[in-house]
């Protein structure tokens, strides 16, 4: 039986995360000094945050399909080296920027800063920016970086939660504090996948939020289906000094997770990849991928796993794109055996 290996946060990791966040803020201050950018607070930006598998990409795609006449620029941040979420969003918009291999509040904070400067420096600015965070990012820390750019107005922070795994996240020592920080940062808490739980369970979640996160607006959604005007146009009151003060009160943002990524240009054998998916160790918190499978070589297969629940669904055709299967697995630090995962995936390839 597989067991979950509990990991202690390395003080050096905490120091590195803090230094990377501070580097992003310093870079922002220096880079903005001599820039002729858009007028103050003219470009609204919405942060979509939430833990791994909360449904951020699903909601983002819904918003892009129903923009309400807005020209939207999308920033997609993924924790893995392969930005699976960006690939899933790319077909919905012509204006998408990928921030890969680290969360936007620390490891790629300088990339985020530079990207926002470039957007604000364009002759024609978007009507709105949506930033989809990595599932291990803390939106409040990202807010500090966003607010360092005076042309950007932080319109709102939307934190998504998975109704099915809500209490699992609260009870897991490795995710508990990050999950609470994500909720604390929110202007709106969106409870997603409500069709997968009972009315009693939904009531318990709402009661917990009412007790521990009072005065927060709460939405219940299925498949990320929420009116665009509810998400864009929140007009929350955010400023840099307040966000810094909130950050001091929170427990430090800790990275207790790791990700591994794989790419294969040979298709998978259907029965073998299905067996691999069904037998994936329980300690894998999140897995996702775009696969080519021998039973339908012309179409992409979208793989999603959140906790113990998973799906493998047919998507659009590969078209002129060279078929390459890409997968990302996320779990607690030290608990992923990359060599074994790679071996099992290679054994599932078509021979």
Average pLDDT of the segment spanning 263-285: 94
**Do residues 304 and 329 make contact, with C-beta atoms less than 8 angstroms apart?**
no
State the pairing for strand pair 325-332/284-293.
antiparallel
Among 201, 232, 249, the domain boundary falls at 249
Ordered alpha helix ranges (H), 186-320: 199-212, 228-231, 240-249, 270-278
CATH number of the domain at 59, please.
3.40.50.300
How high is the pLDDT of residue 256?
78
Average pLDDT of the segment spanning 301-317: 90
How high is the pLDDT of residue 79?
74
How high is the pLDDT of residue 90?
61
Q: Are residues 211 and 334 in the same domain?
A: no
CATH number of the domain at 263, please.
3.30.1220.10
Residue among 137, 119, 121, 165 at smallest CA distance from 17: 137
Residues whose CB is less than 8 angstroms from the CB of residue 225 and which lie 6 or more positions away in sequence, other chains included: 62
For residue 81, pLDDT over 80 is answered with no
Q: Are residues 45 and 176 in the same domain?
A: yes
**Do residues 255 and 8 make contact, with C-beta atoms less than 8 angstroms apart?**
no
Q: Are residues 207 and 320 in the same domain?
A: no
Q: Are residues 182 and 99 in the same domain?
A: yes
The total domain count for the chain is 2
Average pLDDT of the segment spanning 26-32: 52
Asked if residue 285 belongs to a domain, the reply is yes
* 114 or 264, higher pLDDT: 264
Average pLDDT of the segment spanning 294-315: 92
Among 185, 214, 249, the domain boundary falls at 249
* 96 or 162, higher pLDDT: 162
Average pLDDT of the segment spanning 17-21: 47
Asked if residue 107 belongs to a domain, the reply is yes
Average pLDDT of the segment spanning 272-292: 93
For residue 321, pLDDT over 70 is answered with yes
For residue 7, pLDDT over 50 is answered with no
Average pLDDT of the segment spanning 283-309: 92
* 300 or 351, higher pLDDT: 300
Average pLDDT of the segment spanning 235-262: 74
**Do residues 36 and 64 make contact, with C-beta atoms less than 8 angstroms apart?**
no
Average pLDDT of the segment spanning 295-303: 94
Q: Are residues 304 and 215 in the same domain?
A: no
For residue 36, pLDDT over 50 is answered with no
Residue range(s) defining the domain that contains residue 313: 257-347
Instruction: Round the average pLDDT of the chain to a whole number and report it.
Output: 83
How high is the pLDDT of residue 245?
66
How high is the pLDDT of residue 142?
87
Asked if residue 1 belongs to a domain, the reply is no
Q: Point out the least confidently predicted range of 12-16, 154-158, 220-224, 266-270.
A: 12-16
What are the C-alpha distances in Å from 339 to residues 262, 342, 345? 11, 5, 10
- How far is Cα 154 from Cα 140, in angstroms, rounded to an integer? 11
For residue 226, pLDDT over 50 is answered with yes
How high is the pLDDT of residue 14?
43
For residue 26, pLDDT over 70 is answered with no
How high is the pLDDT of residue 108?
54
Among 249, 275, 299, the domain boundary falls at 249
Q: How would residue 334 be classed by pLDDT, with cut points 50, 70 and 90?
A: confident
For residue 205, pLDDT over 70 is answered with yes
- How far is Cα 182 from Cα 186, in angstroms, rounded to an integer? 7
* 171 or 81, higher pLDDT: 171
How high is the pLDDT of residue 17?
46
Q: Are residues 287 and 239 in the same domain?
A: no
């Amino acid at each position: 039986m597989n067991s979950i290996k509990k990991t202690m946060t390395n003080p050096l990791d905490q120091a590195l995360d803090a230094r990377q966040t501070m580097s992003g803020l310093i870079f922002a201050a220096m880079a903005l000094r001599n820039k002729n950018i858009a007028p103050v607070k003219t470009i609204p930006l919405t942060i979509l945050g939430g833990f791994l598998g909360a449904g951020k990409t699903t909601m983002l795609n819904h918003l892009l399909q129903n923009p309400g006449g807005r020209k939207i620029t999308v920033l997609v941040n993924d924790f893995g080296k392969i930005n699976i979420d960006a690939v899933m969003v790319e077909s919905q918009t012509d204006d998408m920027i990928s921030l890969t291999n680290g969360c936007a509040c620390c490891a790629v904070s300088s990339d985020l800063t530079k990207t926002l400067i470039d957007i604000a420096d364009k002759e024609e600015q978007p009507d709105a920016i949506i930033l989809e965070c990595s599932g291990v990012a803390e939106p409040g820390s990202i807010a500090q970086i966003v607010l360092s750019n005076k042309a950007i107005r932080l319109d709102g922070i939307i934190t998504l939660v998975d109704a099915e795994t809500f209490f699992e996240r609260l009870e897991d020592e490795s995710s508990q504090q990050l999950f609470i920080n994500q909720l604390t940062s929110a202007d709106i808490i969106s409870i997603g996948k409500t069709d997968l739980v009972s009315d009693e369970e939904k009531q318990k979640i709402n009661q917990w939020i009412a007790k521990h996160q009072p005065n927060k607006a709460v939405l219940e959604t299925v498949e990320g289906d929420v009116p665009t005007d509810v998400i864009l146009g929140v007009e929350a009151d955010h400023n840099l000094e307040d966000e810094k003060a909130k950050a001091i009160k929170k427990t430090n943002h800790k990275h207790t997770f790791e990700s591994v990524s794989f790419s294969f240009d040979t298709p998978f054998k259907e029965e073998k990849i299905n067996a691999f998916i069904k037998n994936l160790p329980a300690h894998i918190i999140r897995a996702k991928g775009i696969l080519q499978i021998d039973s339908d070589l012309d179409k992409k297969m979208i793989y999603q796993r959140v906790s113990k629940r998973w799906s493998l669904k047919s998507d659009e055709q590969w078209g002129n794109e060279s078929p390459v299967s890409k997968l990302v697995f996320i779990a607690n630090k030290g608990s992923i055996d990359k060599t074994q995962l790679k071996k099992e995936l290679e054994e599932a390839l078509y021979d």
